[in-house]
Amino acid sequence: MTSVFDAATTVVPDGAGRYRADLGAGWSIGGGLNGGYLLATIARAVGAAVPGKPDPLAVSATYLSASRPGPAEVDVRVLRDGGSVATASAELRQGDDVRIAALASFGDLAGADAEGGFRTSALAPDLPPLEQCVSNKAAPVDLETATLLSRFDMRFHPDDVGWAVGRPDGSGRLRAWFRLEDDREPDVYALLLVLDALPPVSFTHGAMGWAPTIELTAHLRARPAPGWLRVVHASRTTSAGLFEEDCEVWDAAGRLVAQSRQLARWPRP
């Protein structure tokens, strides 16, 4: 039984460096399809083009126009594939429109699971037990324009959701437990989705509009253990109408398995 996520990110080779995708209407949020979902789809195409390099290590994407449900192509150009890292550029297109341009480096994260292969001074976020957190299923949103919310089970830290009841705390921080629907366990592709799955931290400042991503770079550091993930989004600076959003994803073994930073446009009032 193929999970909803795997089905929706499937790519089919269609000649030299080209992959076809069928973007799912079930991943809509705000004005288009979710950026993490699109990032995972692009990475699937790059991964298919660099056999022997199973894991995305770094993926940078610049978002040019909002993607729509339906057919899309991903054109992959392998720039270098030698030694332990392969690098490619990729463009996701719909018709004549380039939706996303990306650069991706792939390699092998198996070494992260070896003795001494993972060393960190990072501390996992403090989240109350699941049952004390606030579920996204309680969100007062229109599920027809935010189909994305049905894809996940998210449980927010109760201190971080004042904005949902009209009391934004201005913290610039969101913390949540995260799990895909149909209990699909996380892997490196799912992590690319998770890095852009939470609402924008601009919500914590009471700015409830859409915050379009200009650029997002993801680094994957280890293959995640099965189980619930913990996700933290944080921002410190808004300047010239732009803010950064740092995301960290922690697996059930307490490891920082992925991190990203995006530059996004502050929502228009």
How far the first Cα of the chain sits from its last, in Å, is 44
In the complex, the smallest distance separating the C-beta of residue 255 from a second copy, rounded to whole angstroms, is 8
> Do residues 101 and 47 make contact, with C-beta atoms less than 8 angstroms apart?
no
Radius of gyration of the chain (CA): 18
- Counting beta carbons within 10 angstroms of the beta carbon of residue 139, is it exposed (0 to 12), middle (13 to 18) or buried (19 or more)? middle
For residue 241, state whether it binds a second copy (rule: CB under 8 A). yes
CB of 32: closest distance to a second copy in angstroms?
15
The 8-class DSSP code of residue 198 comes to: S
- Scan for tokens 């083009």, then name that residue: 49
Q: How far is the CB of 211 from a second copy (least distance, A)?
A: 14
Single-letter code of the amino acid located at 72: A
Cβ distance to a second copy smaller for residue 137 or 236: 236
Which of 109, 127, 149, 201 is in the footprint of a second copy by CB under 8 A? 109
Taking CB under 8 A as the criterion, the residue among 2, 65, 132, 145 binding a second copy is 65
Residue 221 binds a second copy (CB under 8 A): yes
CA distance 26 to 4: 9
Of the candidate residues 6, 20, 48, 62, the single one contacting a second copy (CB under 8 A): 62
Q: Give the residue with the Cβ less far from a second copy, 155 or 205.
A: 205
- Cα(197)–Cα(166) distance, rounded to whole angstroms? 21
Query: Contact at 8 Å (CB) between 229 and 186?
Result: yes
Nearer to a second copy, 137 or 268 (CB): 268
Quick one: which of 249, 236, 232 has its CA closest to 189? 249
Per-residue buried b or exposed e for 189-221, using 16+ beta carbons within 10 Å of the residue's own CB:
bbbbbbbbbbbbbbbbbebbebbbbeebbbbbb
Which position among 103, 124, 139, 146 is part of the footprint of a second copy (CB under 8 A)?
A: 103
> CB of residue 82 vs a second copy: minimum separation in angstroms?
10
The contact mask relative to a second copy for 134-173 (x = CB under 8 A, - = no) is: --------------------------------------x-
Is position 73 an interface residue for a second copy (rule: CB under 8 A)? Answer: no
Query: By CB under 8 A, is residue 108 in contact with a second copy?
Result: yes
Contact residues: a second copy, CB under 8 A: 57-58, 60, 62, 64-65, 79-80, 84-85, 87, 89, 98, 101-103, 105, 107-112, 117-122, 172, 214-215, 217, 219, 221-222, 236-242, 244, 256, 259, 261, 263
